[in-house]
Structure 1
């Protein structure tokens, strides 16, 4: 199914009721996995129809209408195409060849690097070949923040650099990342909320 991208929980969470949302699915990917940040959308952005079955246009056509506005396209060009690669899955994550209105699914798109992509396998290849560093940096930051139970600080940068370097030298094995963190001063000297000095 495509690893995390094919997980029903991710696909469902980033859908809108009775229709998919390539925008939300793509935004989740670039924000949570690749570390990109974007300003919030304007308050007056119109919502797309909530029911895919009753819509007169496909989700792709509706998105094209929306991003015809140059101001909207400035951000959407970074993530809409990634979300379109997941259109082979319905609003609750089931594989499909037609949308709820009976129209054939087209999950072919042009990614931000200008290359054509069809489905999740091509999305994974794009991240591996063109966005690996973004993914590794974001993953390391999130993993370290989780391990330490706090936000990342400027003083953690050298540890983050070490995590990334060790991953690259060891074929990106997760065990190496784990070992780098648990042997770090930040982790070994971590104190919980209930810590008290004792004599």
Structure 2
């Protein structure tokens, strides 16, 4: 599932980079996309070692969920694209963090390496904060956009959890499914609020 997410994130960044207003912005987005490819390659190696699945087979299993999420959250402006990039990076890191402690040591090290390489999204943070400070009138629309991103992410994650009992059991071992899922999404929502504040969108 994480592999499919990295695959989708790379293609999303490539598509949405067309909105970038200048060359420095396009370079920054290219670096973010390159980072996603690096994550993908490391995760693909680990997935194959653990399960025997090739990258294409693993991606295909979950591709439709991520495709649906990205279709539902297609940005209309450059700043919507930046908010999505920053929030999406954070949501992925949250999910990695929840899974990491339940995986074998070798897999934990791969997760830790991938999670430590989200600094490229700081470009998005700086751009959005500067834009909101320069033109406060864009803030309310971006706040609503952030809420939509969270809502769609939770909806699509719930679809995966409903269909994949093994993932649910891994995440919420020791807790009832209902309690575990509710607690997980409470944490996700709280961290999302912190990220929106980081963007100047609280």
**What TM-score comes out, normalization by structure 1 length?**
0.25
Structure with larger Rg = 1
